[in-house]
Amino acid sequence: MKVIPLSRPDITAFDKRKVLQNLNSLRLSRGPLVDEFEARVADFVGRRYAVAVNSGTSALHLIVKALGLKKGDEVITTPFSFIASTNCLYYEGIKPVFVDIRPDTLNIDPDKIVKALSPRTKAILAVDIFGHPADWDALTSIARQYGLRLIEDSCEAFGSVYKGRKAGSFGDAAAFAFYPNKQMTTAEGGVVVTDLKAVADRGRCLRNQGHRKEGQRTVYREIGYSYRLSDIHCALGLSQLEQISRFMARRARVAAMYQNALSSLTEFELPYIAPEVTVSWFVYAPRLKKKYRRSQRDKLLLELSKNGIECNVYFEPIHMQPFYKKWLKTGRGDFPVTESAADRILALPFHNRLSADEVKRIARQLKKSIIQLKHNPRG
């Protein structure tokens, strides 16, 4: 039985040639391709500056540092995300203040933010979950009204559009990630984008151990990090960026095949797309209806895996992770919309080259497994 992988990068012959050209140049790090990659990403997103780093997590961390957020501050954020969006706050001793999500888009609910504000609140860190942009108009309005910094975690949304503007073009700064399961990849890597020169300059300093040039002297006036992205990674990134429109079209085609194949499965809520949004698809993650329990979702995942279909949960709520439960004294019941979505969601195989036959096979297995669940309603 052929296994259908959960994800896979789309690496072309063009990519391989570009990476080999860089290897042959022997200029593997801190070379011209970093500058070129940054310029191309900034232009694609519609920002003045981009700072390439070794991961999306590093990008978020540098944004937090470059915006001057510090120990004792509070930042409003979402508990439904990859844990890095909260870890980047903990690194600086900043308290995350979680706000529940909207039940349709699964993004942070702007209507619940104001009640969570305190005198220590300095920023909002919102996430474009699964590639669907958050409600940036509402978030921008709140940030301006209360004098808050606005951070975009757009790590899953490269190429998505909200009301005619690219994801990553709304806040003080935004982060993207290029892990192999993303819309495009640099193998490992990420980038900060911003219109603020001070943020870009400090990001470049911090990513290289705090390195600054002062005349002919190299000085380290603050502690930095080894967050650089190599020219090898940027060679792949530049190549992938040239193909991004085609990649996004392929992913949209796969998502449409899923929507069509699963439309008759009344047991599922299919991904919702707001009318003002164009999604650059990151994953395809339907949810079981609310009548189903977490144990039944887990059983469904197990059945898919047994039949050669890789799948996963997306995401376990951050406020339920052991470390944050202990630190923040959070628990089940604190954010019911997040918990309900996390209990019922499943990520199906999703990548650029998933075939129509594979989507049909996945749909058949889902239907078969759902029938089994109905015959065993206790899960």
Which of 341, 275, 357, 365 shows the shortest CA–CA distance to 130? 341
User: Which alpha helices (H) appear in 331-375, and where do they start and end?
Assistant: 336-344, 356-375
The ranges of the chain annotated as CATH 3.40.640.10 are 13-242
Residues involved in catalysis: 182
Distance CA 129, CA 251 (A): 16
Which segments of the chain belong to CATH 3.90.1150.10? 244-375
| pLDDT score of 37 more than 70 | yes
- Average pLDDT estimate for 170-180: 98
CATH of domain 244-375: 3.90.1150.10
- Taking only the tens place, the pLDDT of each residue in 325-376 is 999 999 999 999 999 999 999 999 999 999 999 999 999 999 999 988 877 7
For residue range 53-89, list pLDDT tens digits in order: 999 999 999 999 999 999 999 999 999 999 999 999 9
- For the chain, counts of helices (H) and of strands (E): 12, 14
Strand 95-98, strand 165-166: pairing: unpaired
Work out the mean pLDDT of the chain and round it to a whole number.
96
How many angstroms separate the CA atoms of 160 and 158, rounded?
6
Enter the CATH code of domain 13-242. Answer: 3.40.640.10
DSSP-derived letter for residue 131 is G
Q: How far apart are CA 198 and CA 328, in angstroms?
A: 32
Q: State the pLDDT at residue 319.
A: 98
321: phi then psi, degrees, rounded to nearest 5:
-75, 140
- Which residues, in sequence order, are CB contacts of 375 under 8 Å at separation 6+? none
- CA dist list (Å): 135 to 102, 126, 274, 318, 322: 10, 9, 10, 21, 30
Q: What percent of the chain has pLDDT over 90?
A: 95
Task: Look at the pTM and tell me if it is higher than 0.85.
Answer: yes
d(CA 147, CA 328): 25
At residue 212, the pLDDT reads 87
Predicted local confidence at residue 215, as pLDDT: 82
Exposed, middle or buried, 318 (CB in 10 Å: 0-12/13-18/19+)?
A: buried
> Do 348 and 284 touch, CB atoms closer than 8 A?
yes
The predicted pLDDT at position 291 comes to 92
* pLDDT tens per residue across span 101-154: 999 999 999 999 999 999 999 999 999 999 999 999 999 999 999 999 999 999
DSSP 8-state assignment for residue 108 = B
